[in-house]
Structure 1
Amino acid sequence: MNADELALLCSALSVKEMECPVRTLDPNLVNIGARRLSLSLVGKVLTTRLVNRQAFCDVMNTVWHVSEGVEIEWAEGNIFVLNFKNLEDRARILDSGPWNFDRAVIVFEELTGVGDILNMGFNRTVFWVQIHNLPLLCMTKEIGIFFGKMIGEVRDIDLETAREGNSRYIRVIVAFALTNRLCAA
């Protein structure tokens, strides 16, 4: 089909108005939806095996210790929708990762309000990385950022751990693409 034939077909299309009252969507309905999304996460257990849905829900509810509870809904395969009751619990779970279930990493995505849950990428995660054997003069936030950026996006640095006991390392939380290979030390 050439461009002229396509243009002819498009010109033949018409949309006729239906005779019914025009209604405006109540902005409060949109706000309710936005609030619900702000309390939700989508998680995927990265394993080729299908996880036991009930076991996943039971274990995560026990391990997470959320103050007001979380409803976990199965979406498909190893994908779950997590509906928290407050933002603090949601933020704590997201920031306290990485989480795992049955020796498999759980990757979280935040809902945006557009798109389909089943088409989410689930291709980024976060890990705490320990940087060992640094000289004392290198036990700084800046050095932690420098080494952390070699892996991915630096989210946080923990210098306190290095000050406890005889530890000589820096902990850095790094977000990175799962498609990237990590180099062995």
Structure 2
Amino acid sequence: MSISDELVVSPDDAYEEDINYKLCLVGKFLGARNINFNAMERMLLNLWKPFQGENIRMLGDNLNLVQFYHMADMKMMISGGPWSFNHCVLLIHLLAKGENPEDVHKLSPGFTSKSLAKNLGNVLGSLFLDYDPGVKRAGRNNYMLIWVRLDNRLS
């Protein structure tokens, strides 16, 4: 290799080989609290107890990539939920190849309308009460709150 030769590395080449998309989840905690990554990681590893291990990487503000090494471990984690840490619920999404993990949990325009909130609220609870379309950042809604009445009587 001479001094004039260039080494060109595509971001896909650098990142592709260590991600098995069938075993990756993107997780985000809902809530206004700051999440201590090390404490969260220790607690979740203790709760999930994966046989083949896992790797949790911080991708950004309150956004994590969770990579399992066996399908049984990932299925046990998903079926054992919902999960929370420091009173914040963990939202998870199975990452698809080519998907940007940072865009996974953002609501698209139109997904914060009152009619959608009403329909979703009536599915989640027995009666839709109200909604708050959420906080707008850079022209996009990052979340939506829905209040519903739940029947908590045992059947």
Number of residue pairs aligned between Structure 1 and Structure 2: 106
| Cα pair distance change 1:178/1:106, threshold 3 Å | farther
In the alignment, the residues of structure 2 paired with residue 66 and residue 78 of structure 1 have an alpha-carbon distance, to the nearest angstrom, of 22
Counterpart of 1:101? 85
Counterpart of 1:181? 147
Quick check: 2:33–2:88 contact (8 Å CA) kept in 1? no
Counterpart of 1:42? 26
1:90 is matched by which residue type in structure 2?
M
Structure showing the higher helix proportion among its residues: 1
Q: CA deviation at 1:122?
A: 6.3
| Cα pair distance change 1:72/1:34, threshold 3 Å | closer
Q: Normalising by the residue count of structure 1, what TM-score does the alignment of the two structures yield?
A: 0.50
Q: CA deviation at 1:33?
A: 5.8
CA RMSD, Structure 1 to Structure 2 (Å): 2.8
Q: CA deviation at 1:178?
A: 6.7
Gaps of 5+ in 1: 1-28, 124-149, 153-176
Q: Normalising by the residue count of structure 2, what TM-score does the alignment of the two structures yield?
A: 0.59
- Asked if 1:60 corresponds to 2:26, the answer is no
Match of 1:75 among 37, 53, 59: 59
Quick check: 1:107–1:122 contact (8 Å CA) kept in 2? no
Q: CA deviation at 1:94?
A: 1.1
Larger radius of gyration: 1
Gaps of 5+ in 2: 1-12, 108-121, 125-142
In the alignment, the residues of structure 2 paired with residue 39 and residue 181 of structure 1 have an alpha-carbon distance, to the nearest angstrom, of 33
Task: For residue 182 of structure 1, give the secondary structure of its aligned residue in structure 2.
Answer: strand
1:184 is matched by which residue type in structure 2?
L
Counterpart of 2:76? 92
In the alignment, the residues of structure 1 paired with residue 82 and residue 51 of structure 2 have an alpha-carbon distance, to the nearest angstrom, of 20
| Cα pair distance change 1:93/1:78, threshold 3 Å | same
Higher relative contact order (CA 8 A, sep 6+): 2
Counterpart of 2:123? 151
Counterpart of 1:168? none
In the alignment, the residues of structure 1 paired with residue 52 and residue 18 of structure 2 have an alpha-carbon distance, to the nearest angstrom, of 20
Counterpart of 1:3? none
| Cα pair distance change 1:33/1:72, threshold 3 Å | same
In the alignment, the residues of structure 2 paired with residue 35 and residue 77 of structure 1 have an alpha-carbon distance, to the nearest angstrom, of 21
